Amino acid sequence: MPKKGSPFLDFFRHNYGRIAQLVRASSLYLEGSWFESMSAHQKILFLFHPFMITLTICGSMRFAKEMDETRLVLEADGFKVFVPGGLSDLASYKESGSHDEAVKRKIQNDYINEHYKYIKQSDGIVVINHDKNEVQNYVGGNALMEIGFAFTLNRDIFFLNPIPMVSYKAEIEAMRPIIIDGDLSKINQYYNKLSKAYLSSESVLKLSATSFGLREFAIKCEVLGIKTESKVSEQPFSVDETYLGAENRLTDLKKKVEGKAYEYLISIESGITKLHQKHNVHGLSVCIIENKLGRRSVSISTELEVPKEMTDLVPDPYADLGVLVQKKYGEENKDPYLFLSKGKISRNQLLINAVIKALASIS
């Protein structure tokens, strides 16, 4: 649990009234279950710093109580946290008394796929490995599988306690977990020491896509967003305009980070363009990446076709496609591609691919 006198709790006590007003007011504008599902202090942290490092808690469900306690500490430290089965399941969880019941529960609730998706959306996992079944620092089959997921996705792997003496210890060691010896503050220390990458936007979506795109090449950086000027329209309508917007943002970014140490500078500009006379416009992203040595690489990525009945409504009466799908079609997420693909492809996935393509010739 957060210690008395922690900076977060001190700040909360002294600013409770103003914070409560801000959270209530923001709830009216930040639409969608993603914001409503946050705890109160997660909402506060999000409002002051919307891009949060995300962690997924893993381990035996025998440790459900300890998982929930760990979640609270990590959230107080500024992390976004996923837990197995959701908080309501954790609160009422009782470990199944039989093998068949355990299998049935995992299939019915699709726990394995659900947790894989959590790990994929995270920067790292925290394995809760207390003693169980007379095994010190127990890591069971589920946790081992989740550690494997995290390793292949280039996510960070934190062990609360040392690696257990089990038959698969060598396999765990090969995935190079970070042992924090019960001290959760070491996780923050780890992320604070990472090299920096600067992005020419404060967009949570673009920050997330940049971080995960870098991880595809096993590049682990703290990605920091800085507001920049594109000097083009809010919804660019050609390859040339979108490209110019990305270049302008990178130029502005370089001025704003002058004198700072970094590994990469990244600029992403999104627009729409006409690719063929038989089709309406397609989505488009231009990603420019420049490393600390000044070497630069560019990707130009085309995305899904956008129907004419939608583009006719942009920029009037809707500023962009995200606002359109939210206001006109009642979508929770401000993501036209999730809407157009019926949930199969997200804008985040497409932006990650744009970052990967730019990195391919520079990393």
Average pLDDT over residues 255-263: 96
* 70 or 42: which leads in pLDDT: 70
pLDDT computed for residue 1 by the predictor: 42
Please tell me the predicted confidence (pLDDT) of residue 57.
96
For 133-147, the DSSP string reads TTBTT---HHHHHHH
Q: What does the pLDDT read at residue 102?
A: 63
Which of these ranges, 13-17, 138-142, 187-191, has the smallest mean pLDDT?
Answer: 13-17
| Pair 292, 345 in one domain | yes
Q: Are residues 26 and 107 in the same domain?
A: no
Is 354 within 8 Å of 268 (Cβ atoms)? yes
Q: Determine the pLDDT at residue 99.
A: 66
Average pLDDT of span 279-284: 95
**DSSP β-bridge partners for residue 273:** 282
Last residue of a domain, one of 157, 174, 192: 192
Same domain, yes or no: 340 and 353: yes
| Residue 95 pLDDT grade (very low, low, confident, very high; cuts 50, 70, 90) | low
Percentage of residues in the chain with pLDDT exceeding 70? 80
The end-to-end CA distance of the chain, in Å, is 41
Note whether 174 and 230 are same-domain residues: no
Q: Which burial class, exposed, middle or buried, applies to 93 when counting CB atoms under 10 A from its CB (0-12, 13-18, 19+)?
A: middle
Q: How many domains is the chain partitioned into structurally?
A: 3
258 and 279 in contact (C-beta within 8 Å)? no
| pLDDT of 291 over the 60 cut | yes
Bond into 317 cis (ω within 30): yes
Q: Classify residue 61 by its DSSP letter.
A: G
pLDDT number for residue 224: 94
Q: Strand, helix or coil at 363?
A: coil
Side chain identity at residue 264, one-letter code: Y
Contact 155, 122 (CB under 8 A): yes
Whether residues 204 and 323 fall in one domain: yes
Task: Tell me which of 163, 192, 221 is where a domain ends.
Answer: 192
Provide the whole-model pTM: 0.80
* Structure confidence at residue 96 as a pLDDT band (50, 70, 90): low
Range of the domain at 103: 52-192
Same domain membership, residue 327 and residue 186: no
Specify the higher pLDDT residue, 233 or 160. 160
- pLDDT tens across 316-356, in order? 899 888 889 999 999 887 889 999 999 999 999 999 999 99
Could you tell me which residue, 10 or 238, shows the higher pLDDT? Answer: 238
Phi, psi values for residue 6, rounded to 5°: -65, 150
Same domain, 251 and 325: yes
Does the structure show a pLDDT above 50 at 135?
yes
Is residue 275's pLDDT more than 60?
yes
Predicted confidence at residue 44, as pLDDT, reads 53
Q: Are residues 178 and 280 in the same domain?
A: no
Same domain, 169 and 84: yes
Average pLDDT for the chain: 85
Percent of the chain residues topping a pLDDT of 90:
66
- Is a pLDDT exceeding 60 seen at residue 30? no
Instruction: Give CA–CA dist 101/106, Å, rounded.
Output: 9
Same domain, 44 and 59: no
CATH number at residue 104: 3.40.50
HSE of 107, CA atoms in CB hemisphere, 13 A: 6
In this structure, the answer to whether residues 186 and 203 fall within a common structural domain is no
| DSSP code per residue over 78-121 | T-EEE-TT-HHHHHH----SSHHHHHHHHHHHTHHHHHHHHHHT
| CATH number of the structural domain spanning residue 237 | 3.90.950.10
- The whole-number pLDDT of residue 158 equals 98
Confidence of residue 2 (pLDDT cuts 50, 70, 90): very low
330: tokens are 């009642």
- Residue 301: per-residue pLDDT: 96
Last residue of some domain: 192, 212, 235? 192
249 and 206 within one domain: yes
CA gap 47, 39 in Å, rounded: 12
Helix 347-360 and helix 204-215: axis angle, to 10°?
50
- 203 vs 290 pLDDT, higher one: 290
